[in-house]
């Protein structure tokens, strides 16, 4: 039987249908500086037009041998669109992601424009998705921050955490507003024809929140988000997650994604062999810092042995990767991943 195309492989993966080998992809940024340089532009420029955003995603996946393309790359699109401004670092030659220069100082100040999806760079992201979907070679992934993490782009999280104890009703109303934003934006990306979604509630791990607080402050909003989606959707959380894996699994996501702090073998025992698990290598430590690609192979094999269904980086790729390390990730996953994973069979 002929090998599946990249797009077919990922689509079948999320349907839990047998595939030829483990797909190599992510639900977070996978742009590499080698692709940006080949396009003859600065890193700051790729965030500013649909053509550069989509083009850099396609070029990166071509060069690395990935099965999917994912945009946008930065976390400031919504914050910029609702009025918090943007620092683009357009004069820098370094790899600097856009950041939010202004955050609201109180919950009461937050005012979300009804047409935020039409403001700032949101239309650029839309058009980039249209280009990627039309290209058709790769699966297309879209992501959005979870409500709590998105809140951290708009206000200081310290205000939210203090408010959770002193003014629970105001915090709940604010997070409901953030959840509305997440649902509106991610359902819009669904309508553009993307193949999978990733909700990145990155800042809500147990490094910051207790399982009890996660259960009351985070879980209800995530459950509401996943119940609104039809496209296969992943829940990704960074940092300490071992104690909240059962709670994450109750949110309704089609797959769970973890970073390197998760004890993956234990997680697989907890969720069983019906839940798609993604993870969990350190992208910077593995693809940028490791000097020997053989060490990368060891990391990838451990992820597979611990029970992942796809070897995902624990966060965005840092663009200045070593290409030999990327190839080791991709090739080892393809070869070592020819055996079935806990959830996904093989053709």
Q: Are 208 and 173 in contact (CB under 8 A)?
A: no
Predicted structure pTM score: 0.97
8 domain residue, yes or no: no
Residues of the chain with pLDDT under 50: none
Residue 297: give the domain boundaries: 24-334
51 domain residue, yes or no: yes
11 domain residue, yes or no: no
CATH (domain of 322): 3.20.20.210
In this predicted structure, what is the pLDDT of residue 1? 55
Q: What is the pLDDT of residues 212-244, one digit of tens each?
A: 999 999 999 999 999 999 999 999 999 999 999
122 domain residue, yes or no: yes
343 domain residue, yes or no: no
State how far the Cα of 314 lies from the Cα of 282, in Å rounded to an integer: 6
263 domain residue, yes or no: yes
In this predicted structure, what is the pLDDT of residue 160? 79
12 domain residue, yes or no: no
Sheet holding 233-237, edge to edge: 68-71, 139-145, 196-200, 233-237, 255-258, 276-281, 310-313
195 domain residue, yes or no: yes
In this predicted structure, what is the pLDDT of residue 223? 98
In this predicted structure, what is the pLDDT of residue 226? 98
Q: Are 319 and 36 in contact (CB under 8 A)?
A: yes
Q: Are 69 and 57 in contact (CB under 8 A)?
A: yes
Q: How many domains does the chain have?
A: 1
């Amino acid at each position: 039987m002929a090998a599946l195309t990249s797009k077919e492989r990922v689509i079948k993966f999320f349907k839990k249908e047998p595939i030829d080998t483990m797909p190599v992809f992510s639900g977070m940024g996978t742009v590499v500086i080698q692709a940006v340089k080949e396009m003859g532009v600065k890193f700051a420029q790729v965030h500013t037009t649909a053509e550069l955003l989509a083009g850099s995603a396609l070029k990166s996946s071509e060069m690395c041998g990935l099965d999917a393309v994912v945009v946008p790359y930065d976390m400031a699109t919504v914050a910029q669109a609702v009025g918090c401004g943007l620092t683009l670092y357009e004069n820098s030659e370094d790899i600097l992601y856009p950041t939010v220069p202004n955050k609201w100082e109180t919950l009461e100040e937050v005012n979300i424009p009804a047409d935020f999806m039409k403001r700032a760079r949101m239309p650029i992201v839309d058009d980039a998705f249209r280009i990627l979907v039309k290209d058709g070679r790769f699966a297309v992934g879209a992501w959005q921050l979870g409500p709590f993490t998105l809140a951290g782009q708009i206000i200081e999280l310290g205000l939210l955490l203090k408010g959770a104890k002193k003014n629970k009703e105001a915090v709940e109303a604010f997070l409901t507003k953030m959840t509305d934003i997440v649902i509106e934006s991610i359902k819009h990306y669904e309508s553009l024809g993307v193949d999978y979604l990733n909700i990145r509630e990155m800042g809500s791990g147990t490094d910051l929140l207790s399982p009890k607080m996660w259960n009351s402050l985070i879980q209800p909003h995530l459950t509401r988000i996943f119940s609104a989606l039809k496209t296969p959707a992943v829940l990704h959380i960074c940092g300490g997650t071992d104690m909240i894996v059962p709670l994450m699994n109750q949110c309704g996501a089609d797959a769970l994604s973890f970073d390197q702090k998760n004890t993956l073998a234990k997680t697989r025992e907890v969720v069983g062999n019906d839940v798609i698990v993604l993870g969990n290598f350190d992208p910077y430590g593995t693809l940028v810092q490791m000097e020997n690609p053989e060490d990368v192979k060891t990391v990838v094999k451990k992820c597979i042995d611990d029970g992942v269904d796809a070897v995902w980086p624990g966060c965005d790729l840092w663009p200045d990767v070593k290409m030999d390390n990327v190839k080791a990730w991709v090739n080892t996953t393809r070869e070592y991943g020819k055996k079935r994973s806990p959830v996904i069979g093989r053709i």
